[in-house]
Amino acid sequence: MTSTPMSGTAASHKPVILSPSLLACDFARLGEELATLEAAGVPWAHVDVMDGQFVPNISFGLPILAAARRVSGLYMDVHLMIEQPERYLHDFAEAGADGLTVQVESTRHIHRAVGMVRELGKRAGVTLNPGTPLDAIRPVLADVDLVLVMSVNPGFGGQRFIPASVERVREVRRMLDDLGSEAELQVDGGVTAQNARALVEAGATNLVAGSAIFGADGGSAAGIQAFRDALA
Ligand SMILES: O=C(CO)[C@H](O)[C@H](O)COP(=O)(O)O
Ligand SMILES: [Co+2]
Protein backbone atom coordinates (compact mmCIF):
# COMPACT_ATOMS: atom_id res chain seq x y z
CA MET A 1 0.00 0.00 0.00
CA THR A 2 1.21 3.49 -0.70
CA SER A 3 1.26 6.28 1.85
CA THR A 4 1.89 9.79 0.74
CA PRO A 5 2.60 12.46 3.34
CA MET A 6 1.28 15.98 2.84
CA SER A 7 3.26 17.94 0.28
CA GLY A 8 3.95 20.97 2.50
CA THR A 9 7.26 21.01 4.26
CA ALA A 10 8.46 22.32 7.60
CA ALA A 11 11.61 24.28 8.26
CA SER A 12 13.56 21.00 8.33
CA HIS A 13 12.23 20.15 4.82
CA LYS A 14 10.61 16.95 6.07
CA PRO A 15 7.31 16.11 4.37
CA VAL A 16 4.39 16.92 6.65
CA ILE A 17 2.65 13.84 8.04
CA LEU A 18 -1.09 13.94 8.75
CA SER A 19 -2.25 11.73 11.61
CA PRO A 20 -6.07 11.56 11.63
CA SER A 21 -7.46 11.11 15.14
CA LEU A 22 -9.70 8.04 15.30
CA LEU A 23 -11.47 9.64 18.28
CA ALA A 24 -13.67 11.40 15.72
CA CYS A 25 -14.36 8.39 13.49
CA ASP A 26 -17.42 6.13 13.45
CA PHE A 27 -16.33 3.29 15.74
CA ALA A 28 -19.03 1.03 14.34
CA ARG A 29 -17.22 1.28 11.00
CA LEU A 30 -13.63 1.35 12.25
CA GLY A 31 -12.27 -0.96 9.55
CA GLU A 32 -13.87 1.03 6.75
CA GLU A 33 -12.70 4.32 8.26
CA LEU A 34 -9.11 3.02 8.36
CA ALA A 35 -9.37 1.71 4.79
CA THR A 36 -10.52 5.15 3.60
CA LEU A 37 -7.51 6.78 5.26
CA GLU A 38 -5.16 4.28 3.64
CA ALA A 39 -6.78 4.74 0.23
CA ALA A 40 -6.34 8.50 0.61
CA GLY A 41 -2.61 7.92 1.13
CA VAL A 42 -2.38 9.03 4.75
CA PRO A 43 0.49 7.26 6.55
CA TRP A 44 -0.50 7.52 10.23
CA ALA A 45 -3.56 7.07 12.45
CA HIS A 46 -3.73 8.81 15.85
CA VAL A 47 -5.14 6.73 18.71
CA ASP A 48 -6.32 8.74 21.75
CA VAL A 49 -6.39 6.71 24.95
CA MET A 50 -8.15 8.44 27.90
CA ASP A 51 -8.59 6.97 31.36
CA GLY A 52 -11.05 9.31 33.11
CA GLN A 53 -8.28 10.19 35.58
CA PHE A 54 -5.58 12.10 33.79
CA VAL A 55 -8.32 13.65 31.66
CA PRO A 56 -12.04 13.96 32.49
CA ASN A 57 -13.12 11.56 29.77
CA ILE A 58 -12.83 7.87 28.90
CA SER A 59 -12.25 6.96 25.25
CA PHE A 60 -11.04 3.43 24.47
CA GLY A 61 -8.06 1.22 25.10
CA LEU A 62 -6.19 -1.92 24.17
CA PRO A 63 -8.89 -3.94 22.33
CA ILE A 64 -9.66 -1.09 19.93
CA LEU A 65 -5.98 -0.58 19.16
CA ALA A 66 -5.58 -4.32 18.58
CA ALA A 67 -8.61 -4.35 16.27
CA ALA A 68 -7.26 -1.40 14.28
CA ARG A 69 -3.86 -3.11 14.05
CA ARG A 70 -5.43 -6.30 12.71
CA VAL A 71 -7.06 -4.58 9.74
CA SER A 72 -4.67 -1.73 8.96
CA GLY A 73 -1.06 -1.19 7.98
CA LEU A 74 -1.13 2.45 9.06
CA TYR A 75 1.45 3.65 11.57
CA MET A 76 -0.40 3.52 14.91
CA ASP A 77 0.41 6.77 16.71
CA VAL A 78 -0.80 6.19 20.26
CA HIS A 79 -1.39 9.22 22.51
CA LEU A 80 -1.66 8.08 26.12
CA MET A 81 -3.72 10.42 28.31
CA ILE A 82 -3.54 8.10 31.32
CA GLU A 83 -2.05 8.30 34.81
CA GLN A 84 1.25 6.46 35.26
CA PRO A 85 1.51 5.26 31.68
CA GLU A 86 4.51 3.07 32.58
CA ARG A 87 2.00 0.50 33.84
CA TYR A 88 0.62 -0.08 30.35
CA LEU A 89 3.43 0.64 27.87
CA HIS A 90 4.19 -3.04 27.35
CA ASP A 91 0.52 -3.86 26.71
CA PHE A 92 0.07 -1.05 24.18
CA ALA A 93 3.24 -2.11 22.40
CA GLU A 94 1.91 -5.69 22.23
CA ALA A 95 -1.47 -4.47 20.99
CA GLY A 96 0.16 -2.89 17.95
CA ALA A 97 1.39 0.62 18.72
CA ASP A 98 4.18 1.90 16.50
CA GLY A 99 4.72 5.04 18.53
CA LEU A 100 3.79 5.72 22.16
CA THR A 101 3.47 9.32 23.33
CA VAL A 102 3.25 10.04 27.05
CA GLN A 103 2.07 13.19 28.80
CA VAL A 104 4.89 14.71 30.86
CA GLU A 105 2.35 15.57 33.61
CA SER A 106 1.11 11.98 33.90
CA THR A 107 4.19 10.45 35.51
CA ARG A 108 6.86 11.28 38.08
CA HIS A 109 9.26 9.29 35.93
CA ILE A 110 9.15 10.71 32.43
CA HIS A 111 12.75 9.71 31.73
CA ARG A 112 12.01 6.12 32.71
CA ALA A 113 8.80 6.07 30.65
CA VAL A 114 10.57 7.28 27.51
CA GLY A 115 13.33 4.73 28.04
CA MET A 116 10.78 1.95 28.44
CA VAL A 117 9.14 2.82 25.11
CA ARG A 118 12.50 2.66 23.39
CA GLU A 119 13.35 -0.64 25.05
CA LEU A 120 10.09 -2.00 23.68
CA GLY A 121 11.35 -1.10 20.20
CA LYS A 122 8.73 1.60 19.65
CA ARG A 123 9.10 5.27 18.80
CA ALA A 124 8.94 7.39 21.93
CA GLY A 125 7.01 10.62 22.14
CA VAL A 126 6.54 13.20 24.87
CA THR A 127 3.72 15.71 25.08
CA LEU A 128 2.55 18.48 27.34
CA ASN A 129 -0.60 20.39 28.12
CA PRO A 130 -1.09 23.99 26.97
CA GLY A 131 -0.52 25.22 30.56
CA THR A 132 2.74 23.32 31.13
CA PRO A 133 6.00 25.25 30.69
CA LEU A 134 8.08 23.98 27.77
CA ASP A 135 11.04 23.50 30.09
CA ALA A 136 9.26 20.41 31.48
CA ILE A 137 10.19 18.39 28.39
CA ARG A 138 13.75 19.67 28.03
CA PRO A 139 15.39 16.83 30.02
CA VAL A 140 14.07 14.16 27.63
CA LEU A 141 14.20 16.05 24.33
CA ALA A 142 17.35 14.29 23.17
CA ASP A 143 15.75 10.89 23.86
CA VAL A 144 12.47 11.19 21.97
CA ASP A 145 11.41 10.55 18.39
CA LEU A 146 8.41 12.87 18.63
CA VAL A 147 7.35 15.95 20.58
CA LEU A 148 3.63 16.68 20.65
CA VAL A 149 2.49 20.21 21.42
CA MET A 150 -1.09 20.02 22.69
CA SER A 151 -3.09 22.92 21.25
CA VAL A 152 -6.20 22.20 23.36
CA ASN A 153 -6.56 20.93 26.91
CA PRO A 154 -6.62 17.18 26.36
CA GLY A 155 -9.70 15.07 26.97
CA PHE A 156 -12.09 15.88 24.16
CA GLY A 157 -12.15 16.15 20.40
CA GLY A 158 -13.76 19.06 18.60
CA GLN A 159 -12.34 21.83 20.79
CA ARG A 160 -11.16 25.18 19.57
CA PHE A 161 -7.46 25.64 18.78
CA ILE A 162 -5.57 27.74 21.35
CA PRO A 163 -3.79 30.44 19.28
CA ALA A 164 -0.81 30.75 21.67
CA SER A 165 0.13 27.22 20.57
CA VAL A 166 1.73 28.56 17.39
CA GLU A 167 4.39 30.35 19.43
CA ARG A 168 4.94 27.21 21.52
CA VAL A 169 5.51 25.22 18.33
CA ARG A 170 8.04 27.84 17.20
CA GLU A 171 9.88 27.57 20.53
CA VAL A 172 9.96 23.75 20.47
CA ARG A 173 11.29 23.93 16.91
CA ARG A 174 14.15 26.10 18.22
CA MET A 175 14.80 23.66 21.08
CA LEU A 176 14.93 20.67 18.70
CA ASP A 177 17.10 22.47 16.16
CA ASP A 178 19.53 23.54 18.90
CA LEU A 179 19.94 19.86 19.79
CA GLY A 180 20.24 18.78 16.16
CA SER A 181 17.19 16.56 16.77
CA GLU A 182 15.27 15.06 13.86
CA ALA A 183 12.26 14.28 16.08
CA GLU A 184 8.79 14.81 14.65
CA LEU A 185 7.12 17.98 15.94
CA GLN A 186 3.44 17.13 16.17
CA VAL A 187 0.47 19.38 17.01
CA ASP A 188 -2.86 18.05 18.32
CA GLY A 189 -6.15 19.75 19.08
CA GLY A 190 -8.32 21.99 16.94
CA VAL A 191 -6.01 21.58 13.96
CA THR A 192 -7.76 22.43 10.68
CA ALA A 193 -6.92 23.12 7.06
CA GLN A 194 -7.18 26.79 8.03
CA ASN A 195 -4.43 26.80 10.66
CA ALA A 196 -2.26 23.99 9.22
CA ARG A 197 0.00 26.23 7.17
CA ALA A 198 0.79 28.54 10.10
CA LEU A 199 1.72 25.49 12.20
CA VAL A 200 4.01 24.09 9.53
CA GLU A 201 5.62 27.49 9.03
CA ALA A 202 6.25 27.59 12.79
CA GLY A 203 8.08 24.26 12.50
CA ALA A 204 5.53 21.47 12.84
CA THR A 205 6.24 18.34 10.81
CA ASN A 206 3.21 16.33 11.86
CA LEU A 207 -0.45 17.33 12.32
CA VAL A 208 -3.19 15.47 14.20
CA ALA A 209 -6.74 16.25 13.15
CA GLY A 210 -9.95 14.54 14.23
CA SER A 211 -13.09 16.54 13.62
CA ALA A 212 -11.58 18.47 10.70
CA ILE A 213 -11.11 15.15 8.88
CA PHE A 214 -13.91 12.84 9.96
CA GLY A 215 -16.42 15.70 10.27
CA ALA A 216 -15.62 17.21 6.89
CA ASP A 217 -18.38 17.71 4.32
CA GLY A 218 -17.81 14.88 1.89
CA GLY A 219 -16.19 12.63 4.49
CA SER A 220 -12.62 11.93 5.54
CA ALA A 221 -11.19 11.76 2.01
CA ALA A 222 -12.44 15.32 1.42
CA GLY A 223 -11.07 16.40 4.80
CA ILE A 224 -7.64 15.02 3.91
CA GLN A 225 -7.74 16.73 0.53
CA ALA A 226 -8.46 20.07 2.24
CA PHE A 227 -5.23 19.68 4.26
CA ARG A 228 -3.33 18.78 1.09
CA ASP A 229 -4.64 21.89 -0.65
CA ALA A 230 -3.79 24.07 2.34
CA LEU A 231 -0.21 22.76 2.44
CA ALA A 232 0.44 22.64 -1.31
O1 LIG B 1 -5.75 14.28 21.99
C2 LIG B 1 -6.84 14.68 21.64
C3 LIG B 1 -7.80 15.24 22.61
O4 LIG B 1 -7.28 15.18 23.88
C5 LIG B 1 -7.27 14.52 20.20
O6 LIG B 1 -6.21 13.93 19.47
C7 LIG B 1 -7.66 15.82 19.55
O8 LIG B 1 -8.61 16.51 20.29
C9 LIG B 1 -8.11 15.62 18.11
O10 LIG B 1 -9.40 16.03 17.88
P11 LIG B 1 -9.77 17.40 17.15
O12 LIG B 1 -8.92 17.51 15.91
O13 LIG B 1 -11.22 17.26 16.87
O14 LIG B 1 -9.44 18.52 18.13
CO1 LIG C 1 -4.44 13.12 20.69
> Is the alpha carbon torsion for 102, 154, 75, 207 positive or negative?
negative
Give 101-139 pLDDT, tens digit per residue.
999 999 999 999 999 999 999 999 999 999 999 999 999
pLDDT of 7 > 80? The answer is no
- The catalytic position among 26, 48, 143, 145 is 48
Q: Structural domain boundaries of the chain?
A: 10-231
Q: How many residues does the chain have?
A: 232
Domain 10-231: CATH superfamily is Aldolase class I (3.20.20.70)
Q: How far is the CA of 48 from the centre of ligand 2 (A)?
A: 5
- Quote the mean pLDDT of the chain: 95
Give 137-148 pLDDT, tens digit per residue.
999 999 999 999
pLDDT, average across residues 147-162: 98
Active site annotation includes 177: no
Give 15-44 pLDDT, tens digit per residue.
899 999 999 999 999 999 999 999 999 999
Task: Give the pLDDT confidence score for residue 15 in this predicted structure.
Answer: 86
Q: Which ligand is nearest to the CA of 223?
A: 1
Active site annotation includes 51: no
Which ipTM score applies to this complex?
Answer: 0.98
pLDDT band at 220 (very low <50, low <70, confident <90, very high): very high
Residue 150 Cα: closest atom of ligand 1? 1
**Neighbour-count burial for 136-165, b at 16+ CB within 10 Å, e otherwise:** ebeebbebbbbbbbbbbebbbbeeebbeeb
pLDDT of 154 > 50? The answer is yes
What residues have CB less than 8 Å from 110, skipping those under 6 apart?
A: 102, 104, 126, 137, 139, 140
State the Cα–Cα distance between residues 211 and 206, nearest whole angstrom: 16
